[in-house]
Amino acid sequence: MKVVLAFSGGLDTSFCVPWLKENKGAEVITVTVNTGGAAREDLDQVARQARAVGADEHREIDARRSVYEGFISTLIQGNVLRGQVYPLSVAAERTQQAIEVARVARDVGADAVAHGSTGAGNDQVRFDIAFRVLLDLPILTPIRDLGLSREEGAAYLEERGLPVPEGAARYSINRGLWGTTLGGDWTHDPWTGPPADAFGEAGGEAPPSREIVLGWEKGLPVSLEGKSLDGPDLVEALSGILAPYRIGRAIHIGETVLGIKGRIGFEAGAALLLIQAHRELEKLVLTRWQAFWKDQLAAFFGDRLHEGQAFDPVMKDIAALVRSSQERVEGETRVRLEEGRFLVTGVRSPFSLMDPSVARYGETNALWNGEEARAFAKVSAIPAWLHHRAGKKGEA
């Protein structure tokens, strides 16, 4: 039996390798899909972990460009933040990882695919839906089926003399292009804050405040500090700039796919900054109703992606509308960086709808006169005036 396992190198997927070999007699091919956020040494360590726990073959796939072009670009153009807080750091990456694992399964003629998701989280649904849409193979889920705790998984590896990933019993960490998410015991009590080391070492004082400039075309970032970069490289470069400032650290409570409440910590400075900078540039060039309807549909896109429904055909339809709205979202945004925060201090675009030759808000105008403004206000009051007037008649 040949099984292709989505492998992160963490505790749960490390458990799956020996368990599948012992209980299914499987030849296990582990697949790590790099969706960003991992240094070369991290990926090498994942490969060593796969071999150490008994993988028959290990593959690494670079999917940074695919996840950016397939999902993250729409999240930027749509200003998608779940609960107005969280930039969906995991949802897009899990879907892309499942796509790549399915591709390997087809290539090697696998008899089954497997993942290490628990039965209480969102990832199980994301992986399962993708595998069911893309493959006609059994889906093996040892962690979910056994209902293992992290302590039990670690003990299983220790009993067999297999390496337990460092910190596995305390935290569940997912690093990706669109941010890092943190799980662990502290997230289960909404009154408990993150441990001091949850986000890594403090790293001393933040650098001095500074401003950076981002260039945009068709609603996507194309340059950083005057240097042209493609999407994934720009996100990673921006993350490197923001990390010493400790920008983008937050906690999110929200609805899970299963209908229960979930809580995570996350660090996603690049995602939060790009979304906010994009939103400010968009305000300059889009009409009111372009922005309104685009944002409604983009929020729905984010919800469905969060729930693992990336393959619903409506997703392509929404992405097409979002892209269409971005034709004139071009220009530059200037952002000031300070410890723990950022501020978009300036935007400019050749398609700006803010034209001082027409009017200066709150001051002067050239396109209409005072009498026309008075008439506009009078006509604008008609619906509310009629409603108010009818209510008075009813009181008589």
Report how far residue 154's alpha carbon sits from residue 149's, in angstroms, rounded to the nearest whole number.
9
Residues 261, 204, single domain; the answer is: yes
Using DSSP's 3-state secondary structure scheme, residue 91 falls into: helix
Residue-wise pLDDT for 74-86, tens only, equals 999 999 999 999 9
At residue 24's C-alpha, the angle toward residues 122 and 16, to 5°, is 40
The single residue listed with the structure tokens 């979304």 is 275
Q: Which pLDDT score is estimated for 171?
A: 65
Residues 106, 213, single domain; the answer is: no
Number of domains in the chain: 2
Bridge pairing between strands 112-114 and 227-228? unpaired
Residue 259 lies in a domain: yes
Residue-wise pLDDT for 285-317, tens only, equals 999 999 999 999 999 999 999 999 999 999 999
Residues 7, 143, single domain; the answer is: yes
Report how far residue 264's alpha carbon sits from residue 87's, in angstroms, rounded to the nearest whole number.
12
Distance of CA 249 to the CA centre of its chain: 14
Give the pTM. Answer: 0.92
Residues 92, 222, single domain; the answer is: no
Using DSSP's 3-state secondary structure scheme, residue 149 falls into: coil
Q: Which pLDDT score is estimated for 363?
A: 72
Report how far residue 294's alpha carbon sits from residue 321's, in angstroms, rounded to the nearest whole number.
7
With CA atoms as reference, report the closest residue to 19 among 122, 157, 205, 206.
157
Pair 75, 64: CB distance under 8 Å: no
Residue 356 lies in a domain: no
pLDDT category of residue 38 using cuts at 50, 70 and 90: confident
At residue 175's C-alpha, the angle toward residues 113 and 224, to 5°, is 125
Residue-wise pLDDT for 356-374, tens only, equals 777 677 677 778 788 988 9
Residues 50, 111, single domain; the answer is: yes
pLDDT category of residue 385 using cuts at 50, 70 and 90: very high
Residue 108 lies in a domain: yes
Q: How many CB atoms lie within 10 A of CB 139?
A: 16
Per-residue pLDDT, averaged over 100-117, amounts to: 97
Using DSSP's 3-state secondary structure scheme, residue 314 falls into: helix
Residue finishing a domain among 348, 368, 389: 348
Bridge pairing between strands 112-114 and 139-140? parallel
Q: How far apart are the first and last CA of the chain?
A: 84
Domain extent for 264: 180-348
Residue 263, strand partner residues: 253
Per-residue pLDDT, averaged over 160-171, amounts to: 79
Q: What is the CATH number of the domain that holds 70?
A: 3.40.50.620
Residues 117, 201, single domain; the answer is: no
Q: Which pLDDT score is estimated for 340?
A: 94
Q: What share of the chain has pLDDT > 90, as a percent?
A: 80
Using DSSP's 3-state secondary structure scheme, residue 279 falls into: helix
Residue 11 pLDDT > 90: yes
Per-residue pLDDT, averaged over 366-387, amounts to: 91
pLDDT category of residue 168 using cuts at 50, 70 and 90: low
Residue finishing a domain among 175, 200, 225: 175
Residues 158, 247, single domain; the answer is: no
Residue 237 lies in a domain: yes
Per-residue pLDDT, averaged over 99-118, amounts to: 97
Residue 324 lies in a domain: yes
Residues 237, 265, single domain; the answer is: yes
Q: Which residues of 357-374 are buried (b: 16+ CB within 10 A; e: fewer)?
A: eeeeeeeeeeeeeeeeee
Report how far residue 88's alpha carbon sits from residue 303's, in angstroms, rounded to the nearest whole number.
9
The strand order across the sheet containing 261-267 reads 171-176, 179-184, 261-267, 249-255
Q: Which pLDDT score is estimated for 170?
A: 63
Residues 81, 204, single domain; the answer is: no
With CA atoms as reference, report the closest residue to 107 among 67, 135, 140.
135
Residues 276, 243, single domain; the answer is: yes
Residue 44 pLDDT > 80: yes
Report how far residue 55's alpha carbon sits from residue 27's, in angstroms, rounded to the nearest whole number.
8
Per-residue pLDDT, averaged over 192-197, amounts to: 86
Residues 167, 188, single domain; the answer is: no
Q: What is the CATH number of the domain that holds 252?
A: 3.90.1260.10
Mean pLDDT for the chain overall: 93
Residue 387 lies in a domain: no
Report how far residue 21's alpha carbon sits from residue 23's, in angstroms, rounded to the nearest whole number.
6
Which stretches within the chain are classed as H helix?
11-24, 40-52, 64-67, 73-77, 91-108, 123-134, 142-146, 150-159, 231-242, 269-285, 288-306, 314-325, 370-380, 382-395
Residues 164, 243, single domain; the answer is: no
Residue-wise pLDDT for 203-245, tens only, equals 678 999 999 999 999 999 999 999 999 999 999 999 999 999 9
Residue 130 pLDDT > 60: yes
Pair 6, 13: CB distance under 8 Å: yes
Residue-wise pLDDT for 50-76, tens only, equals 999 999 999 999 999 999 999 999 999
Residue 234 lies in a domain: yes
Q: Which pLDDT score is estimated for 364?
A: 72
Q: Which pLDDT score is estimated for 394?
A: 66
Residue finishing a domain among 141, 175, 209: 175
Residue 378 lies in a domain: no
Residue 396 pLDDT > 60: no
**Token pair listed for 82:** 């779940």
**Token pair listed for 123:** 């990832």
